Amino acid sequence: MFGWSARSAPRRIPSDEVIPAFALDDTSANRGIMLNWTLHFDAVLDAEKLRSSLEALLRTGDWRKIGGRLRLDAGGKLEIHVPTIFTTERPAFRYRHTSYDIKLSEHPIVSRIPVATANPWSRPILTNFAEPDVTDLDELLYSDLPQLGLHVLSFTDATLVDLIWPHTMSDAMGCHDLLKNWCHVLAGREDQVRPFLGYRTDPLETMLALSETDCEPWALRDLVLSGVGVVIFAIRFLIGILWHPSTEQRIIFFPERTVTNLRQRATAELDAGTFLSDGDVLTAWCTRVATADSKRPVSAMNVVEMRSRAPAGVFDLGGAYVQNLVFPAFTTFRGGVVHEAPMGEMALAIRRSLAAQVAPGQVAAAARTMAQRTGRQGEGKQPPVVGDPSAQLVVFSNWMKGKFFEVADFGPAVAKGGDGSSSGTGRPVYMQVMMLGKTSLAVRNVFNFLGKDAAGNVWANAVLTSAVWRRVDAELAVLGYAST
C-alpha cells in the first residue's frame, strides 16, 4: 500500500550444500559485528598473486566453506550455503584492487597511517580510506555475496591489505589459520596447508559431551549474574551509554622499551622470581586507566580461545578450525582495589585467575555454559557476565599468541620494496581492526592487543569514550616520561 516490501533472500541454489551455523558462531553478539582488518606493508605487493593464492586455498578441500553464502532458515537460524564450485559469477570471496600512482605519503588520508615512535601514544584508527563493501550482516543475508572480502590498495611504495568478514564466520585464531595457510599457498607450499576441520560437525559438540560426562562444574557458576543482578547491570550499562553515547576506536602504541619497563616495575612489587607476561601487565594497566573515574567494583573479562586448552582429543591441532571457539574468563576486583593495589598485585591476580580458568576441565565447563546461554541452544541469549551487579566491565582480547606480524608473510608477493628496491620482508609494519555493524554502536571499554611487531612494540585497538581516552593519553604521557 505504501510501497514498502519485506527484504527477501535470493533464490536458493539446489546444488549448494547447506550447513547450519555452529553454536558459538550464531550468537546475537556475533551477528551484530563485522570485522575490518587492515594490514600495512612497507613494500609493493603483487595484488594478483594475493588474489589467486587465496582463491586457490578456498578451492582446496573443505576450505571452500569460507566461500559459503549466509542465509536464515525457516526458524531464523543462520545457515551457510556452500557452492559446489566457485565461478566468476559466484566467487569464493569478494575482491577489489585499487591502484594509486603515488606514494603512500602523498595520499590525503592514508598518509596519516600511524608509525612506530620512541614514546607511547594513541591515534584515531584510520578510516574513510576505502569504503567497506559490506558493513552489516543483512547485506550478506539478502544478497548472494560470499562472507569474506579482500581489498588490496596499491601505492608506488607500499600496500594495504584489507579484509572484511562477519564475526559469525570466525574468531581471531580462526583467521590466524586462514592467514597462515593462505601464506603457504602463496609461497608454493601447498603440501603444508592444514586440513580444514569442523566443516559440517561442530567440534564443540565433542567437548560438550565430555563435559557432561566429567561433570566438572564451572568455577564461576555462583558468580554469574541472574535475575535482579542482570537487571541492575543492564540498567547501569544503559545509563553509561546515555551519559556517554559516543565512543571512538583508536590505536594504542606501546614501544618495546615502555612495555619492558612497565613489566619490570610490576614484578619488582612481587616476590623474587614471580613471572608476569606482557599481557598480564598491559591488562592491569588498561583496567586501571579505563575505570579511574569510579570506585565501583570491576570485572575484567578476557576472551580466551579454547582450541589449545580443551581436554585432549577434542581438537586436532594439526588441522585448522575457522570458527568461533572462545569463552570468557573473568577477574573480579572489589570497589577501590583497582586504584589502590600495586600494579604488580593486580597483574598477578589477573594471571592467577586466568590460569585457574583455562584448565581443560574448566574450558569444557565454560563451553557448556556458553552453549547453553548463546546461539542455537540459548536462543540468542547474551554470554554470562560474572561479578558484582554494579561492577564496571572491561573486556580484553589478546591476539599476541597468534604472532600475526610474523604469520602474515607475503614475501613471495613482494614486487618492490618500499625504498624502490626489488626486495622487502613482505611482513606488516602496522595493523588495525575496526568493528562495523549494529553491535559495535554499544561496544565500549574494550581493548584488543593485536600483537608485537618485529621490534617488539605492542599495538592495540581500543573502543572507549572520549573521557576515558583523555585519561589514556595522560597516562601514556607518564609512561613515556618514565621510559626516558
Give the mean model confidence (pLDDT) for residues 172-193.
97
CA dist., res. 434 & res. 160, Å (int): 14
pLDDT of residue 131: 80
CA dist 344 and 274 (Å) reads 10
- pLDDT, residue 216, reads 82
463 close to 446: Cβ distance less than 8 angstroms? yes
Amino acid at 316: D
pLDDT at residue number 424: 61
pLDDT in tens, 126-149: 888 878 889 999 999 999 999 999
Dihedral of CA atoms 371, 377, 378, 383 in degrees, nearest 10, equals 10
Give the predicted TM-score (pTM) of the model: 0.92
pLDDT band at 3 (very low <50, low <70, confident <90, very high): very low
Which positions are annotated as active-site residues? 167
- CA distances 82 to 12, 48, 137, 373, Å, are 11, 24, 17, 28
Q: Give the least confident one: 2-16, 52-66, 303-317.
A: 2-16
d(CA 466, CA 456): 28
DSSP state of 384: P
Looking at the chain, the whole-number percentage of residues with pLDDT higher than 70 is: 92
Quickly state the pLDDT bin for 1 (edges 50, 70, 90). Answer: very low
Cell of 356: 585457574
pLDDT at 2: 43
Instruction: Quote the CA–CA distance of 91 and 98 in Å, as a whole number.
Output: 19
Buried b (16+ CB within 10 A) or exposed e, 201-216: ebbbebbbebbeeeeb
Q: Residues 357-397: pLDDT tens digits?
A: 999 999 998 888 887 776 554 444 567 778 788 788 999 99
Question: What grid cell was written down for 286?
Answer: 588498561
Share above pLDDT 90 across residues of the chain, in percent, rounded to a whole number: 68
Supply 150's cell numbers: 579482500
Identify the pLDDT of residue 352. Answer: 96
Q: What is the mean pLDDT of residues 334-339?
A: 85
pLDDT at 4: 42
Q: Rounded CA gap, 43 and 158, in Å?
A: 4
Mean pLDDT over 470-475 rounds to 96
Measured in Å, how far apart are the chain's first and last C-alpha atoms? 70
pLDDT above 90 for 235: no
- Indicate whether 209 pLDDT > 90: no
- Checking if the pLDDT of 213 tops 90, the result is no
Instruction: Report the greatest alpha carbon distance in the chain.
Output: 76
Confidence at 6, pLDDT banded by 50, 70, 90: low
Mean pLDDT (whole number) for 261-267? 96
Domains and CATH numbers, the chain: 16-192 (3.30.559.10), 203-400+437-482 (3.30.559.10)
Q: What angle do CA 391, 394, 396 make, to 5 degrees?
A: 150
Judge whether residue 422 has pLDDT over 60: no
